[in-house]
Structure 1
Amino acid sequence: MAPMSQPHIRFARLDDDDELARLDRASWSTLHSVQPRPEAPYAPFFSERFGPRDHLVAELCGRLVGYVRIAFPTSLAAHTHVRQIQGLAVAEEARGAGVGRALIRAAVDRARQVGARRLTLRVLGHNKPARALYESEGFVVEGVLPEEFLLDGTYVDDVLMGRPL
């Protein structure tokens, strides 16, 4: 792959909906998703629960190539000091170009900006590339739910990771 420029990170916009939905469908895999494969008719990417301000997107050469969703882990008032990465996707053609790392760093920065003390996430145990990336960015395993999901006939751990801000 030819060297690419650094990804540009920005908040998502309403008009990114179709592109983000396509990216989500194209990048779907049991390596990182516990949801069934998306089928038509496709739901909009943004919902009542998660809108553009809950997403940072990455662009390379003017093309949207990734996103990270940052949200509250629960609706409890006692939990508002924590933010959680609840989705991360990078287009196949942009993998290995630093897009995922740039999105994680932007998520850390955003969580700090809004006053969070911790950033957490959940990752499937068999997703070794994502786990290595998260660990290299300061996340540590804080818990494991053994064989929490049955994906493609195999039981897979749900790994809880977090880091202080």
Structure 2
Amino acid sequence: MAGPDGPAIRAAVADDESALAELDRRAWSPRHSVQPRPQPPYGTFFTDRNLPEHILVAELGGRPVGYLRLVPATPLASNAHVQQIQGLAVDERARGRGVARALLDAAYARARRAGATRITLRVLGPNTPARRLYESEGFAVEGVLPGEFLIEGAYVDDVLMGRGLTR
């Protein structure tokens, strides 16, 4: 998928490991990550729980500038109709170019192909730009876990958001 000037979206492959790991380090911020600030020696991007088939990659000019991780919300059969976004990152140098929206559109299509009728995510309370983006995409706040995370000395809310996949 690609627009004439927009990002191309594709499935990740194992060879994306180093580029996505570097992108993840550059994009890290306490505004959106519950993980500690990355420190050398840096780990890998793909793990046994974070497989290439979970990741959509956005490219501009042939280089990865963003990714989205989409997985089943739980392993339960009764919840198989729900997919969950568990990570969305865009290189600061590529922001404002439609990368996040293109990744979200690709995630909706992938989730529908997997039989999902609903998509959910979690976002940190102070991450206002992400919350505005998700709201503009039809996500609604469905719950808030107050003070769920202690990040760099401050308690931060975990905001649960979701939307149907009928639109």
- 1:32 aligns with 32
- Relative to the length of structure 2, the TM-score reads 0.93
AA aligned opposite 1:57? V
Q: Is the 8 A contact 1:5 1:61 kept in 2?
A: no
Contact 1:11 1:57 in 2 (8 A): yes
Q: Unaligned stretches of 5+ in structure 1?
A: none
Q: Does residue 1:142 correspond to 2:146, yes or no?
A: no
Question: What number of residue pairs does the alignment pair up?
Answer: 162
> 1:146, 1:119 → 2: CA distance?
22
Residue type of the alignment partner of 2:111: A
Q: Could you give the per-residue CA deviations for residues 38-95 of structure 1, whole angstroms, max 9, x where no partner exists?
A: 1222221111112111100000111110000001122222221110000000001001
Paired position in structure 1 for 2:125? 125
Q: Distance in 2 between matches of 1:126 and 1:49?
A: 27
Aligned to 1:106: 106
Structure 1 position 12 matched with structure 2 position 12: yes
Correspondence 1:38-117 to 2 at 5 A: 38-117=38-117
Amino acid paired to 1:98: G
Q: Aligned-residue CA RMSD in angstroms?
A: 1.1
Asked if structure 2 preserves the Cα contact closer than 8 Å seen for 1:147 and 1:155, the reply is yes
- Rounded to whole Å, the distance in 2 between the matches of 1:134 and 1:71 is 18
Q: How many percent of aligned residue pairs carry the same amino acid?
A: 64
The answer (yes or no) to whether the contact 1:123–1:160 under 8 Å persists in 2 is yes
Residue type of the partner of 2:10? R
Q: Which residue of 2 aligns with 1:157?
A: 157
**TM-score, normalised relative to structure 1:** 0.95
Instruction: Flag as ranges the 4+ runs of structure 1 deviating above 6 A.
Output: none
